[in-house]
Structure 1
Amino acid sequence: MFPRLVLLAMLALVLPFAPAAAQGRFSPVVQVDDTVVTRWQLDQRARFLSLLRAPGDPNELAREQLINEAVQMNAVRAAGEETSPEAVDAALAEFAGRANLTTEEFVTALGQNGVGEETFRDFVTAGIAWRDHVRGRFASAARNSISRDQISQTLARTGTEGGVRVLLSEILLPTTTPETAFASRTRAAELAQIDDDADFAAAARRFSVAPSASRGGEQAWVALESLPDDVRGIVAGLTPGQTSRPVEIENAVALYRLRDLERVQAGAPSDLAVDYALYIAGPDRAAAEAVKASVDTCDDLYGVAEGLPPERLIRETVPQGALPPDVRGAIASLDVNEATTSVVRGANATVLMLCERKSGQESTVDFEIIGTQLLNARMTAQAVDYLADLRARSVITTLQ
């Protein structure tokens, strides 16, 4: 989307930037503890975000970003940490490179649109300083908390479809009436310019009507071939980190962002092996609930069934596709060693427990790659909580 800056530069000649009155341009608008955010910083950041086509109101987003960055940089300084000029220069070059521009070319394009180099540099510096601070604070503990079993479970949950699997995020905008359709198509054209996972997730939470909106639009791994024809063709043309053009589907216009993809060895979802236990508790549902509450693993059910006819406890490992439909449906929502009493057998209540999921075919995904994905997800969640705590303990005063 950044090549649009050239066009925007031309538009700037027709629609010049109207800064705040000269005497008030450096007046404080927000104070975060001892850090002051000025009107000039706020106006500059809003214009910068507008050029990047960030979703939402650029003024509101700019104010929120600058407050967060003040809180973050205060924490970085309190920890005695510094970001080297070399690291900042490398990050500036990487950011500009997304638009196939050098840092100098990118800064020139910004300047033609009324955005100073210092605004770009401050934005990037705050981002890498916070990233390094969070890594130093949480990475070791987060890495130690991720076990090989968790990685195996993640691989197993993704299924084993042969060929290509994709990891998508989605935004669905309604087109149920002519009015909403027009508004949604206009918004979709803007959101299609997003080139950052976090920005896409924020837009999904704000605008999407899909059930995945609360997760930032994130979906689980899915086989490319299982996608609808019109969607599959669009997604197949993406590379990780790209957002699709708007796609018209039933009652909605959709956007898809490809977060990752992988090739796996031949297989099918039915090749996913499931180790489960089904205990027949009898007609009393309360008795089944009591058993469910008393066991922690599948092996515990052997003690419960001791002395009973062998048909009262079924324990087997079978391909997922061979499971009875009601068991397969109930198992899909269970974690390992989690149980449910939702399955019945005749007049009898049961306790169904998932013992293990096993990939029917070996994925070509490296354990280290999955471990890194889990680590990043965990640190992201910790960083969000950490920032919320820092903000709660900061004195934030709105002055304008």
Structure 2
Amino acid sequence: MSLQPGQISQPLTVPGAIVLFYMRDTRGSVRAGAQDQVLDYLRLRLGNPAEAQRISQGLRNCNDLYIAAQGLPADRLLAEKGNLGSIPADAGLALATLDPDEATVLGGDVLMLCSRMPALLAEADLRPAVPVTPPGARPGEGAVPNAPDENAVPARDEVRDEVFNRKIGAAADAYLAELRADAIIRRP
């Protein structure tokens, strides 16, 4: 990642070979906000590091943390969601190293990451799916559907469908060309 165009990496030894990477060029640009992340996480405040460590060892997912918090006061378990930059520094550093459904102990608290999503996708999930009424218009009058955002990240299903349609279209074109090439056309 630190290579600039025209540079060669240090030799890397892999089984049966030595590898060098040459950076020819870089292409593309990252959309504004594409590297921002929205984190959904739980924080169980116990105040006892030994108890927090014991609880964190048996967790498999965020639902397990809800089960572990049963019987405790409601203010002990905090479900929080926010941009990585808006999370307190100590929790943000700990969460940055976690994968979803992984937990760590921070002081006397159990901190568990439930999900991590690019901010652009999180914003797409929050957009209304109903038509928007222009200002000054009566409800239902002059309503226009939400215009597609050209900077929006397409959904995984949309990309998969588009790739499938391209492949099946190419296969159909190739089959039709093969049929035309093999055809014998006789005219009376």
TM-score tier by shorter-chain length is 0.5 to 0.7
The offset of 1:290, in angstroms, is 1.1
Structure 2 matches for 1:220-299, cutoff 5 A?
241-242=23-24, 261-267=27-33, 269=35, 271-283=36-48, 285-299=49-63
Q: Structure 1 306/264 Cα, relative in aligned 2: closer, same or farther at 3 Å?
A: same
User: For residues 101 and 20 of structure 2, what CA distance do their matches in structure 1 show?
Assistant: 28
The offset of 1:263, in angstroms, is 3.1
The offset of 1:262, in angstroms, is 3.5
What residue ranges of structure 2 are gaps of 5+ in the alignment? 14-18, 122-151, 161-188
User: For residues 297 and 204 of structure 1, what CA distance do their matches in structure 2 show?
Assistant: 40
The offset of 1:272, in angstroms, is 1.7
2:89 corresponds, among 307, 325, 335, to 325
Q: Is the 8 A contact 1:264 1:364 kept in 2?
A: no
Structure 2 matches for 1:1-400, cutoff 5 A?
168-170=1-3, 192=7, 194=8, 200=9, 203-205=10-12, 241-242=23-24, 261-267=27-33, 269=35, 271-283=36-48, 285-341=49-105, 343-344=106-107, 349-362=108-121, 364=153
Which structure has the highest helix share of the two? 1
What residue ranges of structure 1 are gaps of 5+ in the alignment? 1-167, 172-190, 195-199, 207-215, 219-239, 243-257, 370-400
Per the normalisation by structure 2, the TM-score is 0.53
User: For residues 365 and 264 of structure 1, what CA distance do their matches in structure 2 show?
Assistant: 15
Which one-letter code corresponds to 2:103 in the other structure?
A: A
Q: Structure 1 321/241 Cα, relative in aligned 2: closer, same or farther at 3 Å?
A: same
Q: Structure 1 305/265 Cα, relative in aligned 2: closer, same or farther at 3 Å?
A: same
Identity across matched positions, percent: 32
Measured on the aligned residues, the alpha-carbon RMSD in Å equals 3.4
Q: Is the 8 A contact 1:281 1:287 kept in 2?
A: yes
Q: Structure 1 314/324 Cα, relative in aligned 2: closer, same or farther at 3 Å?
A: same
User: For residues 262 and 300 of structure 1, what CA distance do their matches in structure 2 show?
Assistant: 42
User: For residues 170 and 352 of structure 1, what CA distance do their matches in structure 2 show?
Assistant: 35
Per the normalisation by structure 1, the TM-score is 0.27
User: For residues 306 and 286 of structure 1, what CA distance do their matches in structure 2 show?
Assistant: 18
Which one-letter code corresponds to 2:45 in the other structure?
A: I
| Number of equivalences | 122
User: For residues 317 and 217 of structure 1, what CA distance do their matches in structure 2 show?
Assistant: 42
The offset of 1:217, in angstroms, is 9.8
Q: Is the 8 A contact 1:279 1:314 kept in 2?
A: yes
